[in-house]
Amino acid sequence: MTSIRKIVASMCLAGNFVLQMADPAYAHAHLNAEIPAADSTGTAPQSLTLGFTEAVVVKLTGVVVTGPKGNVIETGNVALSDDGKTLTIPLKIDLVPGRYSVTWHALAVDGHKTHGVYGFTVTNR
C-alpha cells in the first residue's frame, strides 16, 4: 500500500510540474482578432485594429503595413485600449485597391515577444 501512495504522490508532483511549465506559454500576446480580418476582401479601412490575448507594451509593439506595390503605408499614432489588449492604428492615406500585408510584433507586459503577418485585400475605396 505504501508503494501505491508513493506512485500516486509522484504522479501528482509530475502533473503539477507539467502544468506549471505549460503556464508560461499562455502568457504570450497572440493576435486573436484583427480588423480588417485576415484574408478578408472589402472596402478600404481608415485604421487597423489588432486584438491580443494578453496586454501589450505599446511602445515596444509595432505594425508595418505594406501596399500592393511593396510600398510601406504611413500610419498614425497607435491607440491602446484600456485593458491593454487592443491596438488601433490609423492609416494616414486612403488605400487603393490591391493586396495589403500587415507585419506585427508585440511585447506582452510580462516580457514575452510574439510576431506574425497577415493580409487583406481592398476592392474599392
**Chain mean pLDDT for the chain:** 86
Question: Does the pLDDT at position 23 exceed 50?
Answer: no
d(CA 101, CA 114): 17
pTM of the predicted structure, to 2 decimals: 0.77
Segment 42-68 mean pLDDT: 97
| CATH architecture for the domain at 31-122 | Sandwich (2.60)
Residue with cell 514575452: 112
Question: Does the pLDDT at position 20 exceed 90?
Answer: no
pLDDT digits (tens, 9 = 90+) for 1-15: 566 655 545 554 544
In which band, very low, low, confident or very high, does the pLDDT at 124 lie, cut at 50, 70 and 90? confident
Alpha-carbon distances of 44 from 1, 12, 19, 76, 91, rounded to whole Å: 70, 54, 44, 16, 10
pLDDT digits (tens, 9 = 90+) for 76-98: 999 999 999 999 999 999 999 99
Segment 18-37 mean pLDDT: 71
pLDDT digits (tens, 9 = 90+) for 107-116: 999 999 999 9
